[in-house]
A = this chain, B = another copy of it.
Amino acid sequence: MPIQHTVVFRLVHPAGSDEEQAFLVTGRATLTSIPGVADFTIRRQVSAKSDLTHQFSMVFANQDAYDAYNAHPAHTAFVAERWIPEVTEFQEYDFVE
């Protein structure tokens, strides 16, 4: 069963900054390089009812693909080197039909 993995987040960087853009570009390049990641999107969160500002979304064909992504060194390095220092608040959700 396909799983849509999403995370809604806010960066430490100012909106429109070069640092924000660099994070998004690196995130896309890094995460889409991992096997099993499909339909990767970056979107802006614009509801005033949340102070989170961006969403990463990707689809895995099944739980095995999701588990492999979580354990992949490109993913764990991105989390350690970019996500933890540059993301100030986030919430994960995973959706299935």
Contact = CB atoms under 8 A, between A and B. Distances in A.
Contact of A47 (B44, B46, B50, B94): B94
Interface residues of A, number: 20
B93 A55 contact: yes
A50 B5 CA distance: 12
B94 A46 contact: yes
A42 B15 CA distance: 32
A91 B91 contact: yes
Given A43-B96, A47-B92, A91-B91, 13 more contacts: A43-B95, A43-B97, A44-B96, A44-B97, A45-B94, A46-B94, A46-B96, A47-B93, A49-B91, A49-B92, A50-B93, A52-B93, A55-B93
